[in-house]
């Protein structure tokens, strides 16, 4: 793993830790799926690594039909379990000489976007903490 990837992963882990700690001071009740009693919320970096490494785990953590769509030419295709292409490359492993990337981490969601500058191609994925587990809830891929 090159230094750039290590730095991005370290920043991601640090940001997530800060959000988890500050969320602990909040008195709000969780929204979405109910938490499993006695289980702390899943740590995003651990989930993210497993999501990309384990295909069965990945499919279990996608809520189909998935929001968003895939553009193929002029066709807009909804994401289904049958046409889902497994995600293997983590956002911090993307070839930065070819793709531009952006990540946004909040307490309850993580969003990653990548695009090829000078083209209309882009890809966006959004993960949300539902109850105490992370899920992929949105995916877009195509040319605008």
Which CATH architecture fits 3-27+41-143? Roll (3.10)
DSSP readout, 118-134? Answer: TSSEEEEEEEEEETTEE
CA distance 37 to 96: 41
pTM as predicted: 0.73
Q: Determine the 3-state secondary structure of 141 from DSSP.
A: strand
The answer to whether 99 and 116 have CB atoms below 8 angstroms apart is yes
CA distance 120 to 137: 23
Task: Collect all residues with Cβ–Cβ distance below 8 Å to 5 and sequence separation of at least 6.
Answer: 92, 93
The pLDDT of residue 63 is 93
The pLDDT of residue 74 is 86
Q: How confident is the model at residue 29 (pLDDT cuts 50, 70, 90)?
A: very low
The residues spanned by each domain of the chain are 3-27+41-143
């Amino acid at each position: 793993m090159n230094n750039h990837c290590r730095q991005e992963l370290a920043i991601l882990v640090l940001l997530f830790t800060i959000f988890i700690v500050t969320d602990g001071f909040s008195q709000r009740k969780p929204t979405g799926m109910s938490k499993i009693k006695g289980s702390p919320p899943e740590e995003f970096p651990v989930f993210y690594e497993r999501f990309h490494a384990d295909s069965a785990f990945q499919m279990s953590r996608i809520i189909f039909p998935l929001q968003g769509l895939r553009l193929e030419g002029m066709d807009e295709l909804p994401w289904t379990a049958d046409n889902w292409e497994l995600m293997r490359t983590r956002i911090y492993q993307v070839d930065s000489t070819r793709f531009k990337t952006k990540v946004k981490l909040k307490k309850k969601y993580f969003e990653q976007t990548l695009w090829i500058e000078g083209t209309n191609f882009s890809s966006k994925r959004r993960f949300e903490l539902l109850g105490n587990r992370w899920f992929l809830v949105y995916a877009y891929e195509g040319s605008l």
